[in-house]
Structure 1
Amino acid sequence: YKQSITPHTSGTTSRVLSECELYMPKYDNDADMKSVKEIFERQTSRRFEEYEERMITQRQKYKEQRDKDIQKIIHKDKMEKNIAEKIEKGCLRCGCGLGGVAAGVGIFGALGTYGWKIAATAMAYETAKQAGIQAGIDAAIAKIKTTRIFQGLSEIKWLDYINESNYSTISGIVEAIQTVRDAMSTNGEMSQPISRALERVRNGISTSSDYFIGPVVKAANNTTVATTESAKTAKLGEVTTASSNAYSAIGYSVTVILIIVLVMIIIYLILRYRRKKKMKKKLQ
C-alpha cells in the first residue's frame, strides 16, 4: 500500500484591495483634488513661514529683552559692588586715618603738654622769684621805717633807692643810704631835719652797721624766702593742675578716636562679609 499525498490548493481568489490601491489613482488623477492639495500645501507652508517669522521676531525680542535684563543685572551688581567697595574702603581709610590721628594726638599731645609743663614750671619759678624779691624790698623798707635810727626820714621815697640789687645785703643798704644823701644834696632837697637824721644814720652805721642794718637785711631775706616758697607752691600747683587736665583731655580724645576707629573697622568687616556672602550666593 502506497500513500498518496494531494497538495491543497485554494479554490477562491482574494478580491481585497488596500485603501491606497483603491483611492490613490483616483486622487492623483482628480484635478480638483490636486488643486485643493496644492492650495493646502501653499497655505500650510505660508502659515509655517509666518509662524517661523513671528517666532524669530519673538525670539529676537525675548533675546534683546533678556540681554537688557542681564545688562541691567550686571550693571546693578557692578554698582552695588562699587558702592560696597567704596564704603568698605572709606571705612578702612577712615579707620586708618583716625588711628594715625589717635597716635599723633597721643604722642604729640603728650610731648606738647610735657614741653608746656617744663616752660610753665620755669615761668612759675621765675614768677615766684620776682614775687619774693618784691616782697623782700617791701619788707626792708617797712623795717627801715620802724627802726629808731631812721626816724626823721619818713619823707624819703625809699623805693627809688632800695631795689633788687641792694636790698638783701648790709653793704647794699648802706650804699643805698649814701645814694639818698648824695641825691638830696645834689638836688637841693636837703632840709636841716633830714640832714641831721642822715648824719645820725651815717654815724651809726659807720660804727655798727650790723647792729642797725642787720635786722633790715634779715627781715628782707626772710620775707623773700617765705614769699618765694609760697608763690612757688601756688604756681606749681596751678601748673600741675593744668597739665593733669591736659593729659586727661588727651586721654579722653584718644579714647574717643579709638572707639570711632573700632566702630569703623567693625562696619568694614560686616560690609565685607555681607558682600562676599552675596557673591557666593549668586555664584551658587
Structure 2
Amino acid sequence: MKVHYINILLFSLPLNILEHNPWNHYMKPHTYTNRSLCECELYEPANYDNDPQMKEVMENFIKQTQQRFHDYDDRMKEKRKQCKERCDKEIQKIILKDKLEKELTEKFSTLHTDIQSDAIPTCVCEKSVADKVEKTCLRCGSVFGGGIAPSVGLLGGIGEAAISAWKPKAIAAAIAAAEKAGAAEGLAAGNALGMEIVTAFLKAYSVDKFCPELLQSIGNKITYYDVAKISEIIIGKYEATCNVSTDTSTQAMCTDVGTKFKLIRNETMDFLPTRSGIKTKVIDFVEKAKFSADTQAAKVSSKITADLTAEKTGEIAATYGAWKTTIIASIVAIVVIVLIMVIIYLILRYRRKKKMKKKLQYIKLLKE
C-alpha cells in the first residue's frame, strides 16, 4: 500500500507501510513435554544413593564443609589468642603504670619532706608556756564574758519555765487518774455491799431455801438491783411449786414465804396478790441496798481519790524539787566557772597591758 504526501513536503514521497495482517505471519506449533515412568525411576532416592557420581558429589561436599569448619575453628583460636595477648599486655601496662606512679609519689613526698625540714633555713621564735596560756585564757575569757554569761541566765529561765509549766499539768493528770481509780474502787465496794444486803434480805424472806439458785445467780448472771428478773424468778418458782405441790414440807415452806411476802390472808394484816406482793417487797429491799451501795461507793471513792491525790501530788512535788535543785545547781556551777574565767581573763589582760606598756617604753628609749 502506497501513500503520497504532497501538501507538506511539496513533493511526492512514496512510503511503503506494511499492514498488520494476522493471517500472514508464521505460527509455531506447541510442543508438549511428557515423562514416562521409566524416566521417573532415575530420580528415586535409592538411585541417588547408589549413583557413583552422586556419592562423589556428596563426599566432596562433606569434605569441603569439614574443611571450612576446621578453618573457622583455627581462625577463632588464633583470634582468641591474639585478644588474650593484647589484654595481657594492656594489664601489664596498667600494673606497671600504677607501680611507677606509686614509686614517684613516695619519692616526691620524701623529697618534699626533706625540703620542708632541712633545706629551707627557718627562724623559729618559741613562745613560753605562760604566753600560750595567757593567749588561750584571754580568748576563752572574752567568749565566756561576752556570750556565755548572758546565755546561762536565759537557759536557767527556760528550764525554770518548763518545769513550772509541767507541774500544774502533772498535778491535774494525777488528780484525774486518782478520781478514775477512786470511782472504780467505789463502784466495786458499792456493788459488793449491795449484793450482800440483797442476799441478806432474800435469806430473811426464806428465799434461800425456797429458791437457792437465785442467790447463786446474783452477782454472776443477775445484778443485785435488777428488780424485774429477781421478781420474775421468785414469782415463777412460787407459782410452779406452791400451787401444784401437796407435800407437807413444801406447803410449810410456801406458807412461810407467803406470810413474809404478805401473800396469805392473816388476822393482823391484809394479803396482796402474788405478783404485786413479791414485786413490792423486792423493790423495797433493792432500793435500800442501792442506797447503801451508793453511799458506800461515794465514801470509798472519795477516800481512795484523796489518798491517791496526796500520794501523786507528793511524788510530783518531790520530782519538781529535785529537777529545780538540779537546774539551780547546774546554773550555779556554770556561773562559778564563768566568774573564774572572767577573773582569769581580767588578770591576764592587766598583765598583758603592763607588758605592752614596758615594750612601748623600751621602743621609745631605743628611738631616742
Alignment TM class, shorter chain as reference? 0.5 to 0.7
Which residue does the alignment assign to 1:103?
A: 161
Check the 8 A contact 2:194/2:290 in 1, yes or no.
Answer: yes
Check the 8 A contact 2:171/2:313 in 1, yes or no.
Answer: yes
Which residue does the alignment assign to 1:162?
A: 222
Higher helix share: 1
Which residue does the alignment assign to 2:211?
A: 153
The 4+ residue runs of structure 1 with deviation greater than 6 A are: 86-92, 180-183
Tell me the alpha carbon deviations over residues 228-258 of structure 1, each in whole angstroms, 9 at most, x when there is no partner.
3134313322222221231232123213321
Which residue does the alignment assign to 2:97?
A: none
Check the 8 A contact 1:161/1:179 in 2, yes or no.
Answer: no
1:1-284 matched pairs, under 5 angstroms: 64=123, 68-70=125-127, 75-84=132-141, 96-97=154-155, 99-148=157-206, 151-156=209-214, 157-159=216-218, 160-163=220-223, 167=225, 172-179=226-233, 200=258, 203-207=273-277, 209-211=279-281, 213-284=283-354
Q: How far off its partner does 1:111 sit?
A: 1.7
Which residue does the alignment assign to 2:90?
A: none
Residue 273 of structure 1 aligns to a residue whose secondary structure is helix
Q: Distance in 2 between matches of 1:219 and 1:254?
A: 51
- So what's the TM-score if we normalise by structure 1? 0.56
Tell me the alpha carbon deviations over residues 34-53 of structure 1, each in whole angstroms, 9 at most, x when there is no partner.
xxxxxxxxxxxxxxxxxxxx
Residue 259 of structure 1 aligns to a residue whose secondary structure is helix
Check the 8 A contact 1:84/1:275 in 2, yes or no.
Answer: yes
Percent identity of paired positions between Structure 1 and Structure 2: 12
Q: Distance in 2 between matches of 1:216 and 1:150?
A: 16
**CA separation of 1:74 and 1:278: change in aligned 2, threshold 3 A:** closer
Check the 8 A contact 1:132/1:226 in 2, yes or no.
Answer: yes
- So what's the TM-score if we normalise by structure 2? 0.45
Tell me the alpha carbon deviations over residues 99-135 of structure 1, each in whole angstroms, 9 at most, x when there is no partner.
5334322322432232232233234234323431343
Q: Distance in 1 between matches of 2:130 and 2:337?
A: 26
Check the 8 A contact 2:149/2:335 in 1, yes or no.
Answer: yes
Q: Distance in 1 between matches of 2:168 and 2:286?
A: 47
Letter in 2 for 1:158: S
Q: Distance in 2 between matches of 1:208 and 1:182?
A: 11
Check the 8 A contact 2:193/2:289 in 1, yes or no.
Answer: no
Q: How far off its partner does 1:91 sit?
A: 7.5
Residue 69 of structure 1 aligns to a residue whose secondary structure is coil
Check the 8 A contact 1:161/1:176 in 2, yes or no.
Answer: no
**CA separation of 1:161 and 1:175: change in aligned 2, threshold 3 A:** same
Residue 155 of structure 1 aligns to a residue whose secondary structure is helix
Tell me the alpha carbon deviations over residues 150-181 of structure 1, each in whole angstroms, 9 at most, x when there is no partner.
64222332324531xx61xxxx4243331576
Tell me the alpha carbon deviations over residues 176-231 of structure 1, each in whole angstroms, 9 at most, x when there is no partner.
33157669x9xxxxx9669x85x956854523643454134313421331243134
Q: Distance in 2 between matches of 1:158 and 1:217?
A: 19
Q: Distance in 2 between matches of 1:273 and 1:114?
A: 47
Provide the alpha-carbon RMSD of the alignment: 4.2
Letter in 2 for 1:133: N
Q: Distance in 1 between matches of 2:235 and 2:221?
A: 11
Check the 8 A contact 1:91/1:267 in 2, yes or no.
Answer: no
